[in-house]
């Protein structure tokens, strides 16, 4: 139960940060609102049953999303019925300018977590994609820890972006994009990513999530990528690869 509550709190941190980013003025907008709406609507199609994983959708505050000009998001807590492992998945859809910014290495540190490593780009080998010859997803990953009065919390977080052409580091910002976070508790701070529930979930569940977000029809055609802005990202900081 404590792990589930911790992951729920982790998702709240991500939502709060995303809302702050949504306050920026809209620039480099090339897609009509109807296209953004279609991407948001597909979030409702993300399956809650994926292999041995069973999910439960968390609550979202639509009023805050509207005030912050965020297009939409969903948070799902999944539990593996065989191993008992749990992960929290946070998906957001919106204009690439907003979605490409705000990453856990900023919001979690601001929330009092210690980041145990510089975010690293990690290729998750999805068995189904390996068989079909599809491009493997690349996620940023890092470990985060926080000391509470009665316990220590250790999290593994994976995050990546997609415009319909695979999941990667968003080095090219598309007009409309998805961003996904996969969060799992760690047995200890030294647990390798290969043993994390987050990595296992991506391997087993990503094909089903992709099928929901990018259905094979004309309306699912991904937006063409546009060059990302250079220099100041709107808050005085210059973006690096891990912050894009």
Quick count: other Cβ atoms within 10 Å of Cβ 58?
17
Q: For the segment 181-194, what is each residue's pLDDT rounded down to a tens digit?
A: 999 999 877 899 99
Inter-residue contact 71 to 223 (CB < 8 Å): no
Average pLDDT estimate for 162-187 = 90
Residue 204 has pLDDT above 70, yes or no: yes
Structure tokens at 90: 């946070």
Q: What is the pLDDT of residue 44?
A: 95
Q: Identify the band that residue 76 occupies on the pLDDT scale cut at 50, 70 and 90.
A: very high
- The residue-averaged pLDDT of 48-54 equals 98
Nearest-angstrom CA–CA distance, 33 and 178: 15
- Strand ranges in the chain using DSSP code E only, listed in sequence order: 49-50, 53-57, 72-80, 86-95, 114-115, 120-123, 138-147, 152-162, 167-168, 176-185
As a whole number, the mean pLDDT across the chain is 78
Question: How much of the chain, in percent, has pLDDT values that exceed 90?
Answer: 50
Given pLDDT bands bounded at 50, 70 and 90, which one contains residue 14? low
What CA–CA distance (Å, rounded) separates 106 from 161? 17
CB 77 within 8 A of CB 184: no
pTM, to two decimals: 0.76
Considering only 7-16, 18-27, 56-65, 209-218, which range has the smallest mean pLDDT? 18-27
**Sequence ranges of the domains in the chain:** 2-243
Q: Count of residues for the chain? A: 244
- Residue 196: its pLDDT value, please? 96
Residue 226's pLDDT is what?
Answer: 40
Average pLDDT of the residues in 35-56: 96
Question: Taking CA 175 as the corner, what is the angle to CA 172 and CA 178, rounded to the nearest 5 degrees?
Answer: 80
Which tens digit of pLDDT belongs to each residue from 108-140? 888 899 998 899 999 999 999 999 999 999 999
């Amino acid at each position: 139960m404590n792990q589930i509550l911790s992951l729920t709190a982790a998702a709240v941190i991500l939502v709060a940060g995303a809302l702050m980013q949504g306050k920026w003025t809209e620039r480099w907008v090339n897609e009509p609102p109807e296209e953004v709406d279609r991407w948001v609507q597909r979030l409702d199609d993300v399956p809650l049953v994926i292999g041995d994983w069973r999910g439960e959708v968390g609550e979202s505050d639509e009023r805050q999303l509207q005030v912050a000009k965020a297009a939409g998001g969903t948070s799902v807590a999944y539990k593996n019925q065989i191993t008992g492992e749990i992960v929290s998945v946070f998906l957001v859809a919106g204009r690439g300018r907003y979605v490409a910014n705000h990453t856990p290495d900023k919001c979690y540190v601001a929330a009092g977590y210690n980041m145990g490593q510089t975010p690293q780009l990690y290729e998750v080998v999805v068995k189904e994609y390996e068989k079909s010859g599809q491009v493997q997803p690349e996620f940023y990953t890092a470990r985060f820890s926080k000391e509470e009065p009665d316990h220590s919390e250790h999290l593994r977080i994976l995050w990546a972006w997609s415009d319909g052409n695979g999941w990667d580091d968003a080095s090219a910002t598309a007009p409309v994009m998805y961003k996904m976070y996969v969060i799992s508790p760690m047995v200890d701070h030294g647990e390798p990513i290969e043993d994390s529930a987050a990595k296992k979930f991506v391997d087993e569940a990503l094909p089903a999530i992709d099928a929901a977000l990018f259905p094979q029809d004309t309306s699912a055609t991904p937006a063409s990528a546009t060059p990302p802005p250079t220099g100041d990202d709107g808050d005085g900081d210059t973006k690096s690869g891990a912050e894009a």
